[in-house]
Amino acid sequence: MEERYTSDVIESKWQKSWEDAKIYKISDDPEKVKYYLLEMFPYPSGKIHIGHVRNYTIGDVVARYKHMKGFNVLHPMGWDAFGMPAENAAIANQTHPARWTYENIDAMRRQLKQMGFSYDWDREIATCRPEYYRWEQWLFLKMYEKEMVYRKESYVNWCEPCQTVLANEQVEAGMCWRCGNPVRQKKLAQWFFRITDYAEDLLVHCDLLPGWPEKVVAMQKNWIGKSIGAEIRFAVENSSEEIVVFTTRQDTIFGATFMCLAPEHPMVQKLSKGTSQEKKVYLPVHGVSIHSAAEKCLFIPPILL
């Protein structure tokens, strides 16, 4: 017997043995109680990092425990593999996004297998494969038929060098978190989901989630952002236009002394025409960073209808 523990020899021997015997393969078994355990599908950005190892180890411990307790455990792995980051990485590495993505998937799968996690690899998915995303497209069409998705023009945080839209969290002091270049506002036609129609359902279910810290539930409720109030229409002096304002405090409306329109409001350019504010607000919004945009709003006196 060898004195030393030669990990590459011993582990690869047993990993192959487990794989050949398909010990983690799962099949339907009506006799057993089902247990579905999904940690997270990683984005195939390159190699597995220690955050993945930590996360998937915790999940694997739970999966093995449940398996030993007699549950029929479905513990799958897959890849959240679509998106702009793959295209940007492909441009930077002068390769094709598909090649880049599939090579990363192969490397990361090899690493996860080395960790000996109890995944049923026959159930592996990659969201960039047509066999997978055809169902996303199908789902989208179903929502479109039900008018749960709609298209409208809206401003987005845009990074020109990355050629991509950024979430607010990805804009740091007016700069792109990825490349450090200035972010500008760009008008783009986009698809929106009518999630506000489901605000009530989502809120009710927040209170039905067992075991979540209060802080997380509160964050979720704030994100849903439901508030009860009224839409109030203000007339604009010397104009037939009306400004619709949503407020939760309609009882304080007579205290309103001025009104402020955001620079991207569709009425701003029309209302400011020929006034002293025209030049200030008529700056093409393209040149305005999100941080200075609030200073460029249009002030007008309110008239309640």
**Interacting residue ranges for Zn ion, rule: CB under 5 A:** 159, 161-162, 176, 178-179
Considering beta carbons, is residue 24 or 158 the nearer one to Zn ion?
158
Considering beta carbons, is residue 170 or 269 the nearer one to Zn ion?
170
What is the spatial distance between Cα 177 and Cα 195, in angstroms, rounded to a whole number?
28
What is the spatial distance between Cα 26 and Cα 38, in angstroms, rounded to a whole number?
14
Number of H helices, E strands in the chain: 10, 14
What is the spatial distance between Cα 217 and Cα 205, in angstroms, rounded to a whole number?
10
Considering beta carbons, is residue 174 or 225 the nearer one to Zn ion?
174
- Give strand pairing partners of 72: 34
Residue for token pair 């009518």: 194
Min. distance of Cβ 170 from Zn ion in angstroms? 9
Min. distance of Cβ 183 from Zn ion in angstroms? 8
Residue nearest to Zn ion (CB): 176
Min. distance of Cβ 95 from Zn ion in angstroms? 19
* Cβ contact 292:213 at 8 Å: no
CB atoms within 10 A of CB 42: 21
Considering beta carbons, is residue 137 or 181 the nearer one to Zn ion?
181
Q: For residue 145, which phi and psi values (nearest 5 degrees)?
A: -60, -35
Considering beta carbons, is residue 174 or 301 the nearer one to Zn ion?
174
Min. distance of Cβ 105 from Zn ion in angstroms? 25
Min. distance of Cβ 280 from Zn ion in angstroms? 28
